[in-house]
Each structure stands twice: as C-alpha cells, then as structure tokens.
Amino acid sequence: MKPKKKQGPTRSASGSTTPYITARGYRALSAELDHLWRVERPKVTQEVADAAALGDRSENAEYIYGKKRLREIDRRLRFLSKRLDELQVVEPSPEQAGRVYFGAYVTVEQEDGETRRYQIVGPDEYDPKLGRISIDSPMGRALLGKAEGEVVLLRRPKGETEVVIEAISYVDGDDAAPG
C-alpha cells in the first residue's frame, strides 16, 4: 500500500471536515457516484454530442447547457471520489449502550413538551426533514456523551433551550423518517 499524499481534508457539502459517516450514508454516496458515472454522465455526453452535430455551437443553447451540466457532473464526481476515500464508516458498539454517540437515535422532549427523534450522523448525510442531525451541529455536539434522563442545555442561534433525553437506541427497525 503506497502512502497517500499529505493534503488537507476535503470538506463535505456542509463545509465540515468531520470524516465520520454511517453505513447507510456511505452506501448513499456510493450509489450517487455510481449513478452519475454510469447513467447521468453518458446521457449528458450524448446530448452534448447530438447538440454539437447541429452546427454553430456559439448560439446552441442545448450545447452550452450540456457542457455546463457536464462540468457540474465532473466536479461532483471528483468530490465524491475524494470524499469517499476519506470517510470512515462508524458502526455502533455494545459499549455505547445508554449514551449518545455517533449513529445514535435520540428521543428528546423539548421545553414545550413536544417529543422529537433524531439520529446523530456525519455532515455528509444530515437531513433535518428526516431527523438526521450532524454531529457538528449545536444539538449534535450538546447531546454527545449524554445518557437517558439527562437535561441538556442547547445553545442555538435563536437562543438557549433545554431538552430532556428520553431514549437512546442504535437500531432503527423500519428506517422510517424519525420525528
């Protein structure tokens, strides 16, 4: 195995350099890379070739747009290839039981009595609509290492609030949208 060149870490889409990802997140990024390489890029390349065959490229909107789209695809392919090499898939271990660590599903009760369920994930896979919050977010950082029943003070841009950790799990049976 030859040593890698010493380079600075690649930033995720969110700008973070945290290299952690869940197995599901890694599969999703790998699938995106595969789809772009095997489906999108060949399709757009053919569209550009077809548009180029029509003649004058300087006023050919399909050609100009196609070339732009091809550059975007190539940029994303380079990013994904590099990022996937740097990411570390984190699997839950039995020692984590009862405490919040990377990959945990955490049910919290907010000050208004509303209950929400979140999963602590890497910056490459966060999706607030699905209840996936980044380990780098204020809430993600505040919850790390805490146990069930603990009151956690969250410092957010819109002010401080407290939440109570009601449950911690490392298994999501149906993988449905938490929350």
Whether residues 165 and 112 fall in one domain = yes
User: Does position 60 have pLDDT exceeding 90, yes or no?
Assistant: no
pLDDT surpassing 70 at residue 17: no
Burial of 104 (C-beta count, 10 Å sphere; 0-12/13-18/19+): buried
One domain, residues 58 and 74 = yes
Structural domain contains residue 6: no
User: Of the candidates 62, 89, 116, which is a domain's last residue?
Assistant: 89
Verify that 137 and 78 share a domain, yes or no: no
pLDDT at 116: 93
Q: Are 170 and 90 in contact (CB under 8 A)?
A: no
Q: What is the pLDDT of residue 158?
A: 83
Residue range 35-48, pLDDT digits in tens: 999 999 999 999 99
Indicate if the pLDDT at residue 1 is higher than 70. Answer: no
In the prediction, which pLDDT does 61 show?
Answer: 87
Looking at the fold, whether 108 and 71 belong to one and the same domain comes out as: no
Give 71 or 97, the one with higher predicted confidence.
Answer: 71
Inter-CA distances, 19 with 12, 25, 86, 149, 167, Å? 9, 12, 6, 30, 26
- Would you state the pLDDT for residue 43? 96
Give the pLDDT score at 13. Answer: 54
Q: What mean pLDDT is reported for the chain? A: 86
| Nearest in space to 123 (alpha carbons), one of 76, 90, 95 | 90
User: Is the pLDDT at 128 greater than 70, yes or no?
Assistant: yes
pLDDT for 172: 72
Q: Which CATH number goes with the domain that contains 80?
A: 1.10.287.180
Q: Is there a contact between 67 and 52 (Cβ–Cβ < 8 Å)?
A: no
Tokens of 167: 């449950």
Measured distance CA(178)–CA(2) in Å, rounded? 42
Please tell me the predicted confidence (pLDDT) of residue 3: 42
Residue range of the domain that includes 64: 20-89
Nearest to 106 by CA among 114, 160, 98: 98
pLDDT digits over 19-37, tens only?
999 999 999 999 999 999 9
98 and 163 in a single domain? The answer is: yes
Which DSSP helix (H) or strand (E) runs through 52?
Answer: helix 41-52
Q: How many domains does the chain have?
A: 2
Q: Mean pLDDT throughout 107-135?
A: 93
83 and 98 together in one domain: no
Q: Are the beta carbons of 37 and 30 closer than 8 angstroms?
A: no
Instruction: Check residue 15 and give its pLDDT.
Output: 56
Q: Which of 41, 62, 89 is the last residue of a domain?
A: 89
Same domain (yes/no): 36, 66? yes
User: What's the average model confidence in pLDDT over 96-109?
Assistant: 92
